Amino acid sequence: MSSPFTGTGVALVTPFLENNEVDFNALEKLVNHCINGGIEYLVVLGTTGESATLSKDEKEAIIRKVVQVTDARVPLVLGVGGNCTADVVNALKTTDFTGYSAVLSVCPYYNKPQQEGIYQHYRMVAENSPLPVILYNVPGRTGVNMTPATTLRLANDFKNIIAVKEASGNLAQIMEIIQNKPDSFLVISGDDNLTMPIVLSGAAGVISVVANAYPKEFSEMVRLSLVMDVANARKIHYKLLNFMNYIFLDGSPAGVKTALEKMEVCKPGVRLPLVQVNSQVKQLILDYVTSNS
């Protein structure tokens, strides 16, 4: 692995108890499940971790719990993003990053900034972050697409912007970034079902939701893709493909939490405005897990 962020990172879910409080015992079980499955790094408090619904105290407790449980076995990335640049800068200045190796910062959402606004936002992030920065482009959630030109401009202008998590679902866009990026800049898949073709096109790996449930299989598929063992990577890709699709049919991370409950890792609860998956999707997920256990 040429970088700590080559291979499979897991966008950790945040487990909740039935009373809606954070389930720290289940979080410990999940972290160990992922590390024992052979993943390369963990991402804490991203979208999949329902960070928008967590209080400041809860976030701080989760940050420290993951550091303690991980015990330096794998690198950690912390999600620090938002739609107010000043608030993001303040978080970068005041957060205790002990135990973390990089920041994942989502493209500003809701405001729908112009490309120059996105650039200036990330300029402030880069200039104030004590850790290397991974950009995160996810237009399906933010309402705005960061174009290849903006991504490449940032990659060239700031040495501490080291990667982009690309979840645009646009292979042509992703390949344009891969083709023109600086050699040391990483492109990371943000779409589980496109990870194999994206890695085969030259990406460094993935930050995955699926790998919460299937860390061993998913990380092996990525490693095989990185060494161009297409035949064996393809076998795992198609074995997991239905599951990849099922867990996003009725909201994420509700889908993967349904699988994790069946695997006895954590309860399926999510916080409003999210709700658990509908009965038909639940049955599809449970049937898949049962038949592949």
Active site residues: 136, 165
Residue 15 near residue 26, CB atoms below 8 Å: yes
Backbone angles phi, psi at 223, to 5 degrees: -60, -40
Paired with 79 in beta bridges are: 104
Q: How far apart are CA 214 and CA 264, in angstroms?
A: 13
Q: Is 124 helix (H, G, I), strand (E, B) or coil?
A: helix
Contacts of residue 226, defined as CB under 8 A and 6 or more positions apart, other chains included, come to 6, 7, 199, 204, 205
> Comparing C-alpha atoms, which of 164, 173, 93 is closest to residue 131?
93
Residue 16 near residue 272, CB atoms below 8 Å: no
160 burial via Cβ count (<10 Å: 0-12, 13-18, 19+): middle
Residue 178 near residue 194, CB atoms below 8 Å: no
Q: How far apart are CA 48 and CA 30, in angstroms?
A: 14
